[in-house]
């Protein structure tokens, strides 16, 4: 028998497993509300016109090559990414106490970041993630060589808002040196973000408790529609002069999902060791995948670095991807929430009912992706939800 025969089957991923079930469902009425990718009104994948234009220009440019990038990626892309999240006047940039490396989208930024933590802070570092959070956070932390994640209360299911009291209480109890994973904006899966005042409270607890924030930014531009506003939390924490880490993804806001375009930034409270930090990040990347892919980073860098294209990106994003999902009808409470995901309030049993009777797929916590809704399906889904709750 093969030496591989004893390998057990891994449990299905909470989100990706759902896609598999959806694909194999033969019902013509099926609807997938689990996906995290925007679609056109007809449910087709959508490529931003500005992205298409840059790709065509790159393809026709004889200087475009397929040479390797360095381990830390395309420098111009990294600089522009740091600017985008931190702001060009950021004290971290002005004082030269931040290091940005290209990453394999948001997940890759977390993976390299937590590996760095495990290796150079402590492999015993406790990592606190919100309850609930994106289901992959706990996997990434453990595979990076850190202990299983701990949770802090985040969401009040009664009010549908952030459970500030619970969050503060749990973070106060975290030992000094613990890392706190924070969603920079558009919290997934709840769609509930702290207000500016609440962020101030979080900052205070983080500072007093000597906690280390790791901001995960998968949706910059999607919460408010403004890149600046959505970077408020990160910029506020940077201004406070903390040691912190920041992950970025261009999967959603540029629609570059499969190109794996992202960045990781390590910010030091006091400067001096950029060289040590960068060299170790590069060493981690070297052994993991050697160097990041080039195409998506080239596209993003062109858009970020060109005033006209940048403006075009913003308009398209607003008019196209964001406005497109503002589906009219009896969905006001969902439209008023922010980000890609929304909590319907459906129970696990109701979610099962929706799947069995209507072939509508969503994660068992009742989270739906706005991206899965189209003009054609919104009423069908609404009817089914009505049937599920009555």
Query: Of 264 and 354, which has the nearer Cβ to ligand PLP?
Result: 264
The verdict on 132 binding ligand PLP (CB under 6 A) reads: no
The verdict on 111 binding ligand PLP (CB under 6 A) reads: no
At 22 the three-state DSSP class reads helix
Active-site hit among 134, 199, 232, 313 = 134
At 130 the three-state DSSP class reads strand
Q: At what angle do helices 295-305 and 49-60 cross, to 10 degrees?
A: 110
Q: Count Cβ atoms below 10 Å from residue 385 Cβ, excluding itself.
A: 22
What is d(CA 216, CA 2) in angstroms, rounded to the nearest whole number?
41
From the list 39, 97, 111, 183, which residue makes contact with ligand PLP (rule: CB under 6 A)? 183
The reply to whether 252 belongs to the active site is yes
Query: Of 274 and 365, which has the nearer Cβ to ligand PLP?
Result: 365
From the list 249, 350, 363, 369, which residue makes contact with ligand PLP (rule: CB under 6 A)? 249
The verdict on 367 binding ligand PLP (CB under 6 A) reads: no
The verdict on 105 binding ligand PLP (CB under 6 A) reads: yes
* Distance in Å, CB of 113 to ligand PLP, minimum: 12
Binding mask 253-282 for ligand PLP (x = CB under 6 A): ----x----x--------------------
Number of residues written out for the chain: 390
Q: In terms of DSSP H, where are the helices of the chain? A: 16-24, 49-60, 75-86, 91-94, 105-120, 137-143, 164-172, 196-208, 227-230, 232-239, 274-288, 295-305, 307-316, 323-324, 332-336, 348-358, 378-389
The verdict on 184 binding ligand PLP (CB under 6 A) reads: no
Query: Of 103 and 267, which has the nearer Cβ to ligand PLP?
Result: 103
Q: At 28, list the tokens.
A: 């013509």
Judge whether 311 and 318 are in contact, CB under 8 Å. no
The position carrying tokens 């924490």 is 237
The reply to whether 131 belongs to the active site is no
* Distance in Å, CB of 218 to ligand PLP, minimum: 4
From the list 34, 36, 194, 292, which residue makes contact with ligand PLP (rule: CB under 6 A)? 36
The verdict on 130 binding ligand PLP (CB under 6 A) reads: no
The verdict on 224 binding ligand PLP (CB under 6 A) reads: no
Phi-psi region of 175 (alpha: psi -120 to 50; beta: other; left: phi over 0): beta
The verdict on 163 binding ligand PLP (CB under 6 A) reads: no
The reply to whether 332 belongs to the active site is no
Q: Is the C-alpha dihedral spanning 279, 253, 223, 158 positive or negative? A: negative
**What residues are annotated to the active site?**
134, 216, 252
Q: Which spans of this chain sit near ligand PLP (rule: CB under 6 A)?
A: 36, 105-107, 134, 183, 188, 216, 218, 249, 251, 257, 262
């Amino acid at each position: 028998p093969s030496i591989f025969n004893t390998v057990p089957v891994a449990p299905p991923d909470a989100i990706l497993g759902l896609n598999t079930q959806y694909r194999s469902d033969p019902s013509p009425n099926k609807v997938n509300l689990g996906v995290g990718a925007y679609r056109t009104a007809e449910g087709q994948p959508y490529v931003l016109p500005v992205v298409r234009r840059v790709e065509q220009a790159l393809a026709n440019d004889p200087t475009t090559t397929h040479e390797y990038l360095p381990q830390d990626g395309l420098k111009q892309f990294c600089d522009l990414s740091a600017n985008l999240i931190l702001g060009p006047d950021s004290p971290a940039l002005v004082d030269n106490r931040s290091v940005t490396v290209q990453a394999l989208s948001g997940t890759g930024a977390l993976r390299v970041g937590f590996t760095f933590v495990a290796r150079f802070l402590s492999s015993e570092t406790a990592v606190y993630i919100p309850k609930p959070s994106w289901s992959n956070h706990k996997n990434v932390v453990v595979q990076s060589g850190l202990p299983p994640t701990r949770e802090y209360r985040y969401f009040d299911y009664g009010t549908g808002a952030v459970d500030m009291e619970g969050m503060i209480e749990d973070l106060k109890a975290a030992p000094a040196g613990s890392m706190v994973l924070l969603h920079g904006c558009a919290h997934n899966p709840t769609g509930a973000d702290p207000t500016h005042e609440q962020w101030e409270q979080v900052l205070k607890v983080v500072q007093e408790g000597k906690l280390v924030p790791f901001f995960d930014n998968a949706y910059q531009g999607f919460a408010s529609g403004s890149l600046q506003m959505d970077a408020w939390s990160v910029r506020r924490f940077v201004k406070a002069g903390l040691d912190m880490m920041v992950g970025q993804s261009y999967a959603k806001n540029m629609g570059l999902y499969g190109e794996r375009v992202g960045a990781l930034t390590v910010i030091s409270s006091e400067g001096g060791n950029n060289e040590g930090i960068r060299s170790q990040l590069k060493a981690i990347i070297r052994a993991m995948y050697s160097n990041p892919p080039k195409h998506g980073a080239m596209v993003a860098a062109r858009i970020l670095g060109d005033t006209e294209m940048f403006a075009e990106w913003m308009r398209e994003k607003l008019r196209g991807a964001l406005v497109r999902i503002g589906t009219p009808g009896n969905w006001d409470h969902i439209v008023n929430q922010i980000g890609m995901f929304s909590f319907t309030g459906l129970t696990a049993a109701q979610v099962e009912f929706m799947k069995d009777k209507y072939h509508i797929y969503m994660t068992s916590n009742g989270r739906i992706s706005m991206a899965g809704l189209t003009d054609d399906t919104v009423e069908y889904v609404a009817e089914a939800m009505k049937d599920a709750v009555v």
